[in-house]
Amino acid sequence: MKFRSELVSSIHNFFYQNNFTQVHTPIITSNNCEGGCETFQVTLNDYDRGLEIIKKDSINQMDELNSRHFFSKPVYLTASAQLHLETMTTSLGNVYTLSPTFRAEKSMTRHHLAEFYMLEAEMIDMNSLDQILDLTENFLKQVSLKTYDVFDKNLLHLILNKNKPKTSGLEYIEKITNTFNSKKFVRITYQEALDILNKLLNTKKYSKLIKKKIEFGEDMNKEQEKLLVEYFQDTPVFVTKYPKSIKPFYMRQSEDNEKLVENFDLLAPHVGEIIGGSLREHRIDLLNDAIKNQDLEPQVFDLYLETKKFGAMRMGGWGLGLERFMQFLINIENIRDVSSFPRSLYNCKM
């Protein structure tokens, strides 16, 4: 928790020095920005009881059921603040938020929390993917190195050696520090990532991790992400230009290939994906088509789409899970060990 406090301080300092405005976004929202992820619905205490006694085939009774919604419609705990940030960016310029985020994925792995803190940033005048990659790389390097530099060295070594008794905490820090000081992060496309992984499929060392050929349009799992980083000697890797079919509707369509989007995942040693981001689609016709193609309800995004209707700025942004960032920096295996009161499937004590 002491390291977490110092890390958050470094994060705020970075954004302050780079003229970002910190904003606070809603915890309760009417949209599921991420599309594919599971969300927690917010209801009144008696809603479930009403659902049991009201028949679905009665219009009048369904009206009665809907009246039990505090907000007159279904609402959820936020899975991302991005759409709110985009709206604020139109008047405030570059903005960021660090706030609780909720995902109702029924997973008990060491990689998942139901409640965690998400750092999200949104920037204006983002005309190319390289612009946002440069800022993201600078952020990760500066914040990591600053936190290492100012945090109590004895306590940091104690944390690292406690979690990994067979390795030296100093060696782990030096390896990350040397990489961040001397190397640029690797930049490859999604197709190039698939080519590398499928090539490794034919090697004895990695055939068990890559059990079958990864086809275009399939996502990479965490072990494959970590394998890519290992392939590049533990240097963080930007994977860019994913297929549009597996990414959210708001990502900007590539101008040279309409099947791809201008996005990235940043993969880090030990944890895999640590940051995900994209250029944002500013063309209202393409946004409406994407919403329709993903079977989303356009009325849910009315306010968001209104900011694009009469022309929009070219924006870009990204999100980083704070707990996963900590896992990487202090070499923690289980994400629940970097949260003071972890919330996960079947676990919500106190």
Least confident of 15-19, 51-55, 76-80, 167-171: 51-55
Using the structure block, give the residue that is written with the tokens 């030096």: 174
CA pair distance 218, 245, nearest whole angstrom = 9
What are 208's two structure tokens?
């068990």
Least confident of 6-20, 269-283, 328-342: 328-342
Query: 205 exposed, middle or buried (CB, 10 Å; 0-12, 13-18, 19+)?
Result: exposed
CA 281 vs CA 30, 125, 176, 190, 317: distances in Å: 21, 13, 34, 19, 11
What stretch of H or E contains 49? helix 47-53
- Phi then psi for 240, rounded to 5 degrees? -120, 165
CA pair distance 267, 324, nearest whole angstrom = 11
Cα 37–262–210 angle (5° rounding)? Answer: 60
Identity of the residue numbered 166: K
CA pair distance 134, 131, nearest whole angstrom = 5
Query: 127 exposed, middle or buried (CB, 10 Å; 0-12, 13-18, 19+)?
Result: exposed
- Residue 234's pLDDT is 94
- Residue 303's pLDDT is 87
Query: 349 exposed, middle or buried (CB, 10 Å; 0-12, 13-18, 19+)?
Result: exposed
CA 340 vs CA 46, 168, 336: distances in Å: 31, 25, 8
Contacts of 340 (CB under 8 A, 6+ apart): 1
Per-residue model confidence as pLDDT tens digits over 306-347: 988 888 889 999 999 999 999 999 988 888 888 889 888 888
- Residue 185's pLDDT is 98
| Closest C-alpha to 74, from 86, 62, 87 | 62
Provide the pLDDT confidence category of residue 110 given band limits of 50, 70 and 90.
Answer: confident
- Residue 205's pLDDT is 74
Q: Are 83 and 120 in contact (CB under 8 A)?
A: no
Task: Answer whether residue 128 shows pLDDT above 60.
Answer: yes
- Residue 231's pLDDT is 94
Kindly state the average pLDDT of the residues 79-108. 92
206: β partners: none
Using the structure block, give the residue that is written with the tokens 């800022």: 135
What stretch of H or E contains 321? strand 315-321
For 9-21, b where at least 16 C-beta lie within 10 A, e where not — what string?
A: ebbeebbeeeebe
- Residue 235's pLDDT is 96
For residues 159, 160, 165, 166, the Cα torsion angle rounded to the nearest 10 degrees is -170
Task: Answer whether residue 299 shows pLDDT above 90.
Answer: no
CA pair distance 169, 167, nearest whole angstrom = 6
| Closest C-alpha to 231, from 205, 253, 249 | 205
Q: How many residues appear in the chain?
A: 350
Residue ranges and CATH numbers for the domains of the chain are 1-42+70-338 (3.30.930.10)
- Residue 64's pLDDT is 55
Mean pLDDT across the chain, nearest whole number? 88
Per-residue model confidence as pLDDT tens digits over 194-245: 999 999 887 877 766 677 888 999 999 888 999 999 999 999 999 999 999 9
- Residue 67's pLDDT is 56
N-term to C-term CA, the chain:
18
- Residue 238's pLDDT is 98
Least confident of 67-71, 121-125, 178-182, 189-193: 67-71
Task: Answer whether residue 165 shows pLDDT above 60.
Answer: no
Task: Answer whether residue 71 shows pLDDT above 70.
Answer: yes
Task: Answer whether residue 56 shows pLDDT above 80.
Answer: no
| Closest C-alpha to 342, from 126, 117, 70 | 117
Task: Answer whether residue 55 shows pLDDT above 60.
Answer: no
Least confident of 24-28, 96-100, 203-207: 203-207
